[in-house]
Amino acid sequence: MTQLTLIRHGSTDWNKEKRSQGQTDNPLDQEGREQALLLAARLSSDSWDAIYASDLERASETARIIGDRLGIKEIHLDPRLREMGGGQVEGTTEEERLSRWGEDWSSIELGRETADAGTSRGMEVIEEICRKHPHDRVLVVSHGAILRNTLRGLLPELDVSVKLSNTSVTRIEKKAEAWGCELYNCSVHLNTTEGTR
């Protein structure tokens, strides 16, 4: 059985500005680094065998912060874990998209990667990680849209309508040929005062 913990990267300036990031290579902001440290502390109570991450800076930096706390030096960077490509939409806010392309902007192609392409790409890399780590516990640091599309393919019955929060944890495992999800979009580590979120 392979256990995978899927993690969305920490926050960036563009997250706060509600700009579509896609594959634009933005760094974490200070809050994003603090979120990653809180997540690393949460994860340090368990043992982990490997960390994989998107090669985009906001994900790879999140992974390095976690790896430093866990004592895992090698981060396996894989471009297949990058966010969905946003084409002409990257760098724009909703207001800017409405201004440029009108109310129906989301139905226009604009060079964006399709959901099916993201699902196929994400499933390919997750299945490959499972083959390489058949009995391990692995962390995968990636991005919101690609992770949700990947989960849609692996677990069609799972409700992924809620967008993943920055540094949220989603736990999946593969037993034989069947995938299961025991935790979706959990960011309890960010709520240090009340203990739940």
Q: Catalytic residues, which ones?
A: 9, 83
Q: Which residues have C-beta within 8 Å of that of residue 66, sequence separation ≥ 6?
A: 7, 36, 39, 40, 43, 51, 72, 139, 141
14 a known binding residue? yes
E strands present in 14-122: 50-53, 75-77
For residues 167 and 191, the answer to whether their CB atoms sit within 8 Å is no
Closest CA to 40 of 75, 59, 68, 12: 68
> Is residue 13 annotated as involved in ligand binding?
yes
Query: Is 11 annotated as contributing to ligand binding?
Result: yes
12 labeled part of a ligand binding site: yes
Name the binding residues: 8-15, 58
Name the binding residues for substrate: 8-15, 58
